[in-house]
Structure 1
Amino acid sequence: MRHRPPRGTAVAAVLVTVLAGCTLPPGAVPTGTAPDQGITVTTGAAPNQDVVALPEGSIDTAVEELPGIVQAALQRTGVPGAAVAVVHGGETVFAEGYGVRKLGEDGAVDADTVFQIASLSKPVGATVVAREVSQGVVEWTTPVADLLSGFELEDPWVSTHATIGDFYAHRTGLPPAAGDLLEDIGYDRDYIIDHLRHQPLNPFRASYGYANFGTTIGAEAVAAAAGTDWESLSEEQLYKPLGMDRTSSRHDDFLGRENRATLHTRVADRTFEPLYERDADAQAPAGGVSSTVDDLSRWMTLILASGTYDGEELLEEKALLPAISAQSISSHPTAADQRAGQYGFGFGVGVHPGGRVSLSHSGAFNLGAATTVVMMPSADVGIVVLTNASPVGAPEAIAAAFLDEVQFGHATRDWVEAYGKATANLSLPAGDLPGVPAPTDPAPAQTLSAYTGEYTNEYFGTATVTEEDGSLVLAVGPEGGTTAVLEHWDADTFAFTPRGENAPKGSLSSVVFALDGGTATSMTVDFFQSQSGDLGTWRRAG
């Protein structure tokens, strides 16, 4: 059985980095030159705030170079459209769109085009939580079980002790992508959160598992404490105060925008097509926000100003700082000269080669979206890039090339190539059968009626296998709404093509029936088994 990394969460997990300090205090930035090296150092109040000084005028120059950076990245990757914004000194200094909202149509992308921002929803949502912490509604250390009645995970002790912060830092022990396949087959937020109690846990606070529905649990707890739903809370506590008029955590609102970007799925190298919709309402706090670069510029301005916007303190710096500080090791070094990846409460946090702290997050839907944000507090600069195509590293490459110009005055590497390689695994087919030759002389199956019937699974729910027009059809999810034809492979093994966010083009999975007395008693579906911690076996009902 072939196990493979989760897909819907992999981009953000790959790109989280380290936070080691905070914004330099005003007046604490004398400069000096390192002996015999010609390196100008901007020194802070403490040694861990020292950074390599920026070249004179580099931010202005980087902004001037940005259109060419964006256009080159889109041309090289084939991504249909992008919107990019830069904030600096409390202002939006750049906001432009490139390409088209949908291939084959005339609508151009501009700064007001609404994109689905995928996992960039996490740091936006963490800002909502920070505001609730500021107002005394919750603390990052509040156990979610105190706020969500009946909440439980596999381990009772973890169930009662896991905090809002633990879920936002992905350190509860939930495995990566826990719950994502339940969403893929149509289950709603309540069902998914309830059934995560069946997921085997990794060590509590000693492991990192990037999970959309872990973040969603933390957000649901905060909304419960506030006495409202998460979507309304986000709107009232963040979007409205910042004037983010085109931002929403509801998919219906996104569909209601005339100026919106269509998802484009990668079907070949540099080739994308508008094939699918992606309703992420079930995981809205983690991946369901839609927004514009103009709106997100307002949010970046708030973060870079440590919670102040337009002269008003919207959240206390002490409530925000834990979110933008390292809380979990997201990736351990594999060599002594590597920096570890770290994660805060909803923010990726890191240190650039010049010593500057960055706050970042990427997001992606394999069905057709890729986004990124990077903020550099010591330079008071941030960039957000939204695109309408499957993840191929384009937004990250644009942001990295811009920040190279900011920090060093020149590119340090080919970022399109580097991030293309970093995201290549996301388009690999899922399941255990891609590339496996079909048997040339397969053993015959039983009569199809031997496999038909109803099967139960405590995690994925009921599945039915029926015979239609001489083939087996598998139906899973609420009311059997997700179906697939099972093609005979060999003996009691069949094959099917999974669909959805976690099943890129070319995916192919086995379905293995176990029989007793000529009748199937169980079936194991590799696509579900290998991505859910061995929970993909259904047993015949009754």
Structure 2
Amino acid sequence: MLKRRSFHYSFFPGMASLCALMVFAAAASAQTPATSVPALDAANKAPSTLPSQLQDFGAYVDSARKTFDVPGIAVAIVKDGKVVMEQGFGLREIGKSETVDAKTLFAIASNTKAFTAAALQQLAEQGKLKMDDRVIDHLPWFRMSDPYVTHEMRIRDLLAHRSGLSLGAGDLLYWPPTSYTTKEVVEHLRDVPIKNGFRSGYAYDNILFAVATLVIEQASGQSYADYVRTHLFQPVGMDESLIDKTYLKPGMDVATGHAKANFKNLEPVPPMAWLNDPGAGGIYASVHDLAKWMNVQLAGGALPGPGKDGKPARLFSEDSQEQMWSMLTPITIIKPPIPELAPLTPHFFGYGESWFLSDYRNQRLVWHTGGWPGMVSRITLVPELHLGVVVLTNQESGAAFNAVTYRVLDAYLNPSQKTDWVAVYDKAVKKAESKADDSFATHEKARDKNRKPSLPLANYAGTYRDPWYGDVVISSEGGKLRLRFSKTAQLIGTLSPWQHDAFTVRWDDRTLNADAFISFSLDMDGHIREARMEPISPLTDFSFDFQDLRLTPIRKAEAE
């Protein structure tokens, strides 16, 4: 979340990655047939193989769909190496009849990151790299904006969110989709500002997974897509999974993402291919395939069936898994926004190699979330219980996947108590929404509508250049100012005066939920010196990192 996307949604609303963990208003949606293993009966009661707390699981998931306005959800549960349940609920797309089943493909977004970590660990086992190699040992041209960080950045650091980059730094290089190549994205890192100390703390990023993508390609001699398909999908048996949207074909069983335009009205959003940072979030998968992935993870990397030598076949070694599941970056534990969420507060919280690490009810959790345009997801493993649950959704509601996940965890960890997490998260969502409304009200109160721009509107037109993103063009069209990000087709919008030399930018694509302020500073002669941007709403996904842009006007000759 990242809006939503990216890339991790955490325990509580307000900690969402790529956008608010929350999206919101309840609206009724009809219950639809589901395909499952094992199947539900006509009364929507779960089979007897499920714990007693999950006997009404179908009705519970549908209540989450209705409350959080999610058209479709898919869930798989594995226990002790077996698939206890894999099932779809609801619709692939609103207004159409196709239903979600266990084999429906969803964008899993940042749950891709664990595949990237596994690929690097495999290459380390093959002797093609070491996890503590410097990145420049494999990509000599690699540069961060700080020479020390450039020199000391190790491959393991790429997976741990401890580089010193700020939250979501550089995401606008590929989010929404841009025309940059992966190599160009990484080359631009030399100009992305480092705002924190190297290895001094946690700040979620996606851009270093573009670096990891290139390391995998350099060490293996294969494209990222070919490597993951050959060395991860095929051994695990993930026959339905795809690297990105470009591999989708008409007629496939695939969910359509949905977003709340203007944070209000649910609409389908077009599928997105993340071609220039695939290692951060590109994979499409079903819960049927991800159940296999979870079982391999819970088996310490062991694959089903014997290997060629009669010994158990392995995807990666137990030592590699121990490294992936060892905490590299501690994360500050925050107070929950409402008291009902207090039971979810962990005793420890941190990040390993592409996995979050925490605890719940005295059990270690290994988990990750993902956010994408119109889709969010969560995979959660309880290693000591050999338990795993994956929840995929086609709406941007982290509240929905959390409510479903914790109902499953409670069934195995706390069977004597049946918490209605849907009601709890609904309360938390409403509180987050009210705070967002208060934030805009504060801006409105401070606004002086009588303060007009210092210059004629046409004088704000021109090409502005940021050191790491590139060019942003403002043009005067029919008496209005239009803003375009030169490498991002979706970022086109209209400027409206706010006060003084500040304007609002309202994007044409209303499902972005990323309207921004843009403020111009003038020199003593009344010429524009610089423009700065920031999101208007606190619910905007952090991957719209407008605040890191430093836009300076350039002469026409320079722009050409």
Give me the TM-score of the superposition, normalised by structure 2.
0.80
Work out which of the residue numbers 120, 126, 130 in structure 1 matches 2:117: 126
| Structure 2 residue 133 is matched with structure 1 residue 142 | yes
User: What residue number does 1:457 align with?
Assistant: 466
User: What residue number does 2:533 align with?
Assistant: 525
Measure, in 1, the Cα distance between the counterparts of 2:331 and 2:351: 6
Q: Once the 2 structures are TM-superposed, how far is the Cα of residue 214 of structure 1 from its aligned partner?
A: 2.0
Work out which of the residue numbers 20, 43, 52 in structure 2 matches 1:61: 52
User: What residue number does 1:38 align with?
Assistant: none
Q: Once the 2 structures are TM-superposed, how far is the Cα of residue 97 of structure 1 from its aligned partner?
A: 0.6
Q: Once the 2 structures are TM-superposed, how far is the Cα of residue 128 of structure 1 from its aligned partner?
A: 2.4
| Structure 2 residue 269 is matched with structure 1 residue 275 | yes
| Structure 2 residue 75 is matched with structure 1 residue 84 | yes
Q: How does 1:118-197 map to 2 (within 5 A)?
A: 118-184=109-175, 186-188=178-180, 189-197=182-190
Q: 1:530 to 1:135 in 2, by over 3 A?
A: closer
CA contact (8 A) 1:130 1:319 kept: yes
Figure out how many residues of one structure are paired with residues of the other and give that number: 494
Opposite residue 466 of structure 2, the aligned amino acid is N
CA contact (8 A) 1:529 1:537 kept: no
User: What residue number does 1:205 align with?
Assistant: 199
What secondary structure is seen at the aligned counterpart in 2 of 1:322? Answer: helix
Q: Once the 2 structures are TM-superposed, how far is the Cα of residue 206 of structure 1 from its aligned partner?
A: 1.7
User: What residue number does 1:33 align with?
Assistant: none
Q: 1:62 to 1:423 in 2, by over 3 A?
A: same
* Partner deviation per Cα, 1:439-475 (whole Å, 9 max, x = no partner): 4323255233322222222112122222111112222
Opposite residue 174 of structure 2, the aligned amino acid is E
Measure, in 2, the Cα distance between the counterparts of 1:529 and 1:60: 39
Work out which of the residue numbers 66, 88, 107 in structure 2 matches 1:116: 107
What secondary structure is seen at the aligned counterpart in 2 of 1:393? Answer: helix
Q: Once the 2 structures are TM-superposed, how far is the Cα of residue 386 of structure 1 from its aligned partner?
A: 0.4
Note the residue ranges of structure 1 that are not aligned, 5 or more in a row. Answer: 17-56
Give me the TM-score of the superposition, normalised by structure 1.
0.82
What secondary structure is seen at the aligned counterpart in 2 of 1:245? Answer: coil
Q: Once the 2 structures are TM-superposed, how far is the Cα of residue 518 of structure 1 from its aligned partner?
A: 4.6
User: What residue number does 1:254 align with?
Assistant: 248
Opposite residue 317 of structure 1, the aligned amino acid is E
Further displaced range: 251-260 or 307-316: 251-260
Q: 1:15 to 1:160 in 2, by over 3 A?
A: farther
What secondary structure is seen at the aligned counterpart in 2 of 1:478? Answer: coil
Measure, in 1, the Cα distance between the counterparts of 2:473 and 2:263: 37
| Structure 2 residue 553 is matched with structure 1 residue 539 | yes
What secondary structure is seen at the aligned counterpart in 2 of 1:357? Answer: strand
Q: 1:69 to 1:268 in 2, by over 3 A?
A: farther
Work out which of the residue numbers 385, 389, 396 in structure 2 matches 1:383: 389
| Structure 2 residue 422 is matched with structure 1 residue 416 | yes
Q: 1:143 to 1:213 in 2, by over 3 A?
A: same
User: What residue number does 1:21 align with?
Assistant: none
Q: 1:514 to 1:480 in 2, by over 3 A?
A: farther
* Partner deviation per Cα, 1:225-252 (whole Å, 9 max, x = no partner): 1112211111111011122122122221
Measure, in 1, the Cα distance between the counterparts of 2:504 and 2:86: 48
Q: How does 1:447-526 map to 2 (within 5 A)?
A: 447-478=456-487, 482-498=491-507, 503-504=512-513, 507-515=515-523, 517-526=525-534
Q: 1:10 to 1:296 in 2, by over 3 A?
A: closer
What secondary structure is seen at the aligned counterpart in 1 of 2:271? Answer: coil
Work out which of the residue numbers 213, 235, 242 in structure 1 matches 2:236: 242
* Partner deviation per Cα, 1:460-510 (whole Å, 9 max, x = no partner): 2122222111112222232887422222333433221247799526x3423
Measure, in 1, the Cα distance between the counterparts of 2:370 and 2:489: 30
Identity of aligned residues (%): 26
Opposite residue 231 of structure 1, the aligned amino acid is A
What secondary structure is seen at the aligned counterpart in 1 of 2:316? Answer: coil
Opposite residue 164 of structure 1, the aligned amino acid is I
What secondary structure is seen at the aligned counterpart in 1 of 2:378? Answer: strand
Q: Once the 2 structures are TM-superposed, how far is the Cα of residue 275 of structure 1 from its aligned partner?
A: 3.5
| Structure 2 residue 332 is matched with structure 1 residue 331 | yes
Opposite residue 495 of structure 1, the aligned amino acid is T
Opposite residue 327 of structure 1, the aligned amino acid is L
User: What residue number does 1:307 align with?
Assistant: 301
Opposite residue 401 of structure 1, the aligned amino acid is R
Further displaced range: 512-521 or 171-180: 512-521
Q: Once the 2 structures are TM-superposed, how far is the Cα of residue 98 of structure 1 from its aligned partner?
A: 0.5
CA contact (8 A) 1:114 1:254 kept: no
* Partner deviation per Cα, 1:148-207 (whole Å, 9 max, x = no partner): 231011121211221121111111212111121222352433332221222332111121
User: What residue number does 2:455 align with?
Assistant: 446
Measure, in 1, the Cα distance between the counterparts of 2:230 and 2:512: 36
Measure, in 1, the Cα distance between the counterparts of 2:400 and 2:533: 34
* Partner deviation per Cα, 1:52-84 (whole Å, 9 max, x = no partner): xxxxx9964355443233222212222110111
Measure, in 2, the Cα distance between the counterparts of 1:537 and 1:529: 18
User: What residue number does 2:320 align with?
Assistant: 319
Q: Once the 2 structures are TM-superposed, how far is the Cα of residue 300 of structure 1 from its aligned partner?
A: 0.6
What secondary structure is seen at the aligned counterpart in 2 of 1:475? Answer: strand
User: What residue number does 1:31 align with?
Assistant: none
Work out which of the residue numbers 399, 406, 412 in structure 2 matches 1:393: 399
Work out which of the residue numbers 371, 386, 400 in structure 2 matches 1:364: 371
What secondary structure is seen at the aligned counterpart in 2 of 1:436? Answer: helix
Measure, in 1, the Cα distance between the counterparts of 2:53 and 2:106: 24
What is the RMSD computed on CA atoms of the aligned residues? 3.3
Note the residue ranges of structure 2 that are not aligned, 5 or more in a row. Answer: 14-47, 306-312, 337-341, 536-541
Work out which of the residue numbers 7, 12, 18 in structure 1 matches 2:9: 12
What secondary structure is seen at the aligned counterpart in 1 of 2:248? Answer: helix
Work out which of the residue numbers 85, 93, 96 in structure 1 matches 2:87: 96
* Partner deviation per Cα, 1:20-66 (whole Å, 9 max, x = no partner): xxxxxxxxxxxxxxxxxxxxxxxxxxxxxxxxxxxxx9964355443
CA contact (8 A) 1:8 1:501 kept: no
Q: 1:510 to 1:494 in 2, by over 3 A?
A: same
Measure, in 2, the Cα distance between the counterparts of 1:254 and 1:426: 35
